[in-house]
Amino acid sequence: MVQYIWEFEARPEKIADFERFYSASGPWAALFRRCPGFLGTSLLRDAESPARFLTIDRWDSAASRHAMREQFSAEYETLDRDCEALTESETRIGVFESQPAT
């Protein structure tokens, strides 16, 4: 499994909209669910800084996520553009692979 982790600082007046778009039932997850290999998404809100969030998108492989970006590039870009007004910052934390249990 591969996990893509992003950090966001939501605009204070847009927190509810941000949560709606980035939740497991929101438009981003709906787009990802159209693709084989998508395993789910999590939205985490910082308990000490309520406008700070992490998203964790889980895929069976990097190739599956890459295929989604190619197949749905127009929809992805439109959704990304629509969400720009919801955030003050967006930072890619990284791509993390799950390690097998030993």
User: Does the pLDDT at position 17 exceed 90?
Assistant: yes
Angle at 74 between CA 56 and CA 33, to 5 degrees: 40
Instruction: Give the range of the structural domain holding residue 43, as residue numbers without chain letter.
Output: 2-97
Q: Is the pLDDT of residue 99 over 90?
A: no
Handedness of CA 12, 87, 93, 28 (dihedral sign): positive
Q: Give domain status of residue 30, yes or no.
A: yes
Residue 1: per-residue pLDDT: 94
What percent of the chain lies above the pLDDT cut of 70?
A: 98
Compute how many other C-beta atoms are within 10 angstroms of the C-beta atom of residue 57: 21
Q: In the predicted model, is pLDDT for residue 9 greater than 80? A: yes
Q: How large is the average pLDDT for residues 60-69?
A: 96
Q: Report, as an integer, the average pLDDT of 31-44.
A: 97
CATH of the domain at 72: 3.30.70.100
* Total structural domains within the chain: 1
Q: Contact, 58 vs 2, CB < 8 A? A: yes
Token pair recorded at residue 4: 């893509």
Share of the chain above pLDDT 90, in %: 95
